[in-house]
Amino acid sequence: MNALVKSATIIDPKSDFHNETVDILIEKGVISNISKRISNPKNHKEIKLDNLHISQGWFDSSVSFGEPGYEERETIENGLKTAALSGFTSVAVNANTNPVIDSHADIHFLKLKAEKHATNLYPIGALTRNSDGKVLAEMFDMKNAGAVAFYDYKHPIDDPNLMKLALQYASNFNGLVCSFPQESKISGLGVMNENITSTSLGLKGNPALAEELQVARDLFILDYAEAKLHIPTISTAKSVELIRAAKKKKLNVTCSVAIHNLIFTDEELSTFNTNFKVLPSLRTQKDIDALIEGIKDGTIDMITSDHNPIDIEDKKIEFDYAKYGTIGLESAFGALNSIFTIKKTIELLTKGKERFGIESSSISIGNKADLSLFNPNENSIFSKEQMTSRSKNSIFENRELKGIVYGIIANNKMILSK
């Protein structure tokens, strides 16, 4: 793939051209020249877009599709197209399919289906067989097949000894264990944050305590096992405190937060809109403030869209019975850019690769082109017409977002919306 990108402002602190507006020549998928003005004698395709900005390719550490088994929610092909049009050149894909991705063959299937796409798919294998929390899955075999981490998506590991064994076993091959932060017996049948709002709405509450107990437990086990742990999608102020203290003790722990947990409070549920039924639950403004502070001081290592397509039959029903989840890839950039500076937004969208063993490529001559293209300044109302996901369960529907994404250049391919 050959292209000449014209008048692009580079946002990449690792590049010599950071904050400069330049032309970028890409030949056979590699950046061959960067300069103020580049001629085009070979008549390569020219990319000229309004207020074009370019950064290193974005990464999302928690994405769900549906294939195999739930293709009505999302296919791998359309999911990767959606990721590309949303600016993501790499996504780590969860194991919550049917069957669950818990073997070497399953990992191989995902990688085979994702071949020849612009966006890289990195499989996350299940931590336990069928994600049932009883017996460890074939972690080493999945690692050899290409799994970048092990996680029973949204299923907490109730047995502390099993978590200890998982961490100890994974440490033998530098595997990354992920543990969903929820204590099942405390959370019970709660469907939203336990608070005055849940009481007024008559909905069962899921207290912050359920998350915080699990985080504290896992950190104690991590200290004992001397392994490495990733805690996905924390949502409470106390969780931030616990992880901050663990990092001061030099424990090998990272964590993420879902973008919607940085923006919406539990008061949004007053309309019983099931797109706001997510896990972990939307919390309070105090929690949001603590999460944002955790991002700023480095306690929280990465953000995620926590993209989880759910078909309409499982969302357009009574709130108690609706499935948890929201799509988030398409709205990720515009939502983050609404609350952070563009520099911080891009930093958050490109963090996390190293933790998952994924290579980064700065915008420099001689490096492969792994680029996200966007305009940080154009506002728009996010509507169903802008959703390329098969499922339309977006928590950000009808919300104003700041900035638009043009697409990506990656894997010697170019996917652009314009």
Handedness of CA 181, 184, 187, 190 (dihedral sign): positive
Q: Which of 297, 306, 311, 320 is catalytic?
A: 306
Q: Name the phi and psi angles at 374, rounded to 5.
A: -160, 165
Alpha-carbon torsion, ordered 235, 373, 357, 116, to 10 deg: 120
Is residue 267 within 8 Å of residue 288, measured between CB atoms?
no
Whether the ω angle into residue 99 lies within 30 degrees of 0, i.e. cis, is: yes
107 Cβ contact partners less than 8 Å away, ≥ 6 residues apart:
101, 123, 125, 142, 145, 146, 147
Half-sphere exposure of 91 (CA within 13 A, CB side): 33
Is residue 274 within 8 Å of residue 316, measured between CB atoms?
yes
CA 329 to CA 303: how far, in whole Å? 12
Which DSSP symbol is given to 322? Answer: S
357 Cβ contact partners less than 8 Å away, ≥ 6 residues apart:
148, 176
Element (H, E) at 92: strand 88-93
CA dist list (Å): 352 to 11, 61, 121, 172: 17, 7, 15, 22
Which residues make beta-bridge pairs with 152? none
C-beta atoms surrounding 32 within 10 Å: 14
CA 179 to CA 288: how far, in whole Å? 21
Token pair of 369 as six digits: 């082109």
CA 40 to CA 158: how far, in whole Å? 61
CA 251 to CA 242: how far, in whole Å? 11
Which DSSP symbol is given to 310? Answer: -
39 Cβ contact partners less than 8 Å away, ≥ 6 residues apart:
none
In three-state secondary structure terms, 11 is strand
Is 311 tagged catalytic? Answer: no
Which has the closest alpha carbon to 63: 336, 305, 417?
Answer: 305
Residue positions annotated with a catalytic role: 306
